[in-house]
């Protein structure tokens, strides 16, 4: 697979541009995802990645750039390719959300199950994707104190046993672990259908933040 981004009229290596491999192309440093500009900002309107340049990319390179915005789900970028052209990050994200909403239940569950638990095994072992590492690391979920880790482990176990997937929370909307834990506990009271909808809604918030970060990356996708 070609590992390239469209930069200043030419293609360059993702590893060369971002300094990382794998899923981290949307998060170049620890805080990139969490500090991304919000909707309506100049960055989210295309100050970095250019819609016209993105629309011109062949399928393979389009998927290479956007394939990891949704955790471990490159099929979303593959399917959304045929919905081009996109005029903005808002249109692109809406199209990706539509792909998820019209996917099979099994595909939606696979998407949810691909996310790491908060302060879970992946965080403790340092094997999360760079995007998730950035998101959890900002609030210290990758290095919580022992007593807090025990509490999170109990919450994660109870949640997964009830719903069959990890608790997913868009951390960019939180300033401390306390509010995240409170949200985790509150959602344990949901019924399965309500919680699946809530989890997907959080995924959409997370992925919008990741797209905003990618959109703001200087020169990426410009033609």
Check residue 130 and give its pLDDT. 82
Q: Which of 16-25, 80-89, 210-219 has the highest mean pLDDT?
A: 80-89
- Catalytic residue list contains 93: no
Residue-level pLDDT at 65: 92
pLDDT in tens, 117-169: 888 888 777 777 788 888 888 888 888 899 999 999 999 999 999 999 999 99
**Integer CA distances (angstroms), 73 to 82, 173, 186, in order:** 16, 23, 28
- The whole-number pLDDT of residue 78 equals 97
| Mean predicted confidence (pLDDT) in 46-64 | 83
User: Per the residue annotation, which of 72, 98, 115, 184 is the catalytic one?
Assistant: 115
Q: Across residues 72-84, what is the average pLDDT? A: 96
Which domains, and CATH codes, for the chain?
1-216 (1.10.3330.10)
Tokens describing residue 120: 């879970």
Q: Region 77-84: what's the mean pLDDT?
A: 96
Asked if the model's pLDDT at residue 173 lies above 50, the reply is yes
């Amino acid at each position: 697979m070609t590992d390239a981004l469209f930069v200043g009229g030419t293609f360059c290596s993702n590893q060369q541009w971002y300094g990382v491999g794998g899923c981290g192309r949307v998060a170049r440093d620890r805080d990139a995802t969490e500090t991304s500009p919000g909707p309506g900002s100049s960055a989210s309107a295309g100050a970095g990645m250019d819609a016209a340049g993105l629309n011109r990319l062949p399928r393979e390179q389009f998927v290479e750039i956007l394939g990891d915005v949704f955790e471990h789900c490159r099929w979303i970028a593959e399917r959304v390719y045929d919905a081009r052209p996109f005029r903005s990050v808002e249109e692109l994200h809406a199209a990706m959300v539509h792909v998820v909403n019209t996917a099979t239940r099994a595909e939606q569950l696979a998407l949810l199950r691909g996310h790491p638990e908060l302060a879970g095994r992946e965080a403790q072992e340092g094997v999360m994707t760079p995007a998730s590492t950035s998101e959890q690391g900002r609030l210290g979920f990758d290095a919580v104190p022992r007593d807090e880790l025990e509490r999170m482990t109990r919450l994660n176990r109870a949640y997964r046993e009830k719903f069959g997937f990890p608790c997913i929370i868009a951390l960019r909307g939180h300033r401390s672990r306390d509010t995240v834990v409170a949200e985790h506990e509150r959602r344990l009271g949901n019924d399965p259908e309500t919680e699946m909808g809530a989890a997907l809604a959080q995924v959409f918030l997370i992925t919008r933040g990741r797209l905003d970060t990618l959109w703001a990356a200087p020169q990426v996708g410009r033609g």
